[in-house]
Amino acid sequence: MAAGDTQIGLWSVLADGYAAEILAGCGYDWLLLDAEHGPNDLRSVLAQLQGIAAAGSLLGDRANDLSQAVVRLPQGDTALIKQYLEIGVQNLLVPMVNTAEQAAELVRAVRYPPRGVRGMGSGLGRSSRWGRLTDYVQAADDDICLVVQIETGQAVANLDKIAATEGVDGVLFGPADLAADLGYRDQRTHAEVTRTIRQGIETARRAGTPSGIMLTDVAAAHDWLSSGITFAGVGVDSSLLIRAADDLLGQFRATGPRTTGAASSY
């Protein structure tokens, strides 16, 4: 990402280790495990990290195709960040970061003293393989990727300072929340929203910080990638499952899938 290479990701809200193992081998650059809007907690994310790791062992010569796990936290809480880092999360996405001060606190949360405030407990956790990685503490600060979400007008106004915060590795624009905050709820493609994001991409570029976006419109994703976005979430596992299941059923029922009524028997 730091090199400016295009990174294509998939959002996962199914909160299941088996599903994560399946998706991890598809070839997406990253797989986002959503603990903000998905029914995830520390234990379910752990199971998904283990599933992704297992997928790598099964890919053999194709192990380079394994998706990198990214976890979106419900909020940027220092204690919560510590817990997720200890189960082996290396890539964090934090929602609703509105100021440079918030961004700086998040950077401190993912780093050990004296550069940060992360607690010295990795020897008890999966992060250091329970102490087997004896150089973990020395290397950990540089092995964590921190991406913050820009989802409000306030965040856009402060973006120059947020993007320039040392330790912020990327900014991701959230079109839905940004549109709502700007007064265009359910109009994420409104001209004002688009203009604001385009300006934000340029602001982040001047700071030398990569920009990302999440959306499920393929044509729009290509457009944003050509406009300076370097990492994009282009789909959601639950939506893909629903669409494929609905499309299959539609081939057998002329009226399409039923949406009401009791479940039918075989």
Catalogue the active-site residues. Answer: 37
- Of 69, 63, 86, residue with least CA distance to 145: 69
Place of tokens 């004002």: 192
CA dist 100 to 92, 97, 126, 179, Å?
A: 17, 8, 31, 21
* Cα torsion 118, 91, 37, 200: sign: positive
**CB-based burial of residue 184 (10 Å sphere; 0-12 exposed, 13-18 middle, 19+ buried)?**
middle
Q: Would strands 68-72 and 7-12 be described as parallel, antiparallel, or unpaired?
A: unpaired
N-to-C CA span, the chain: 49
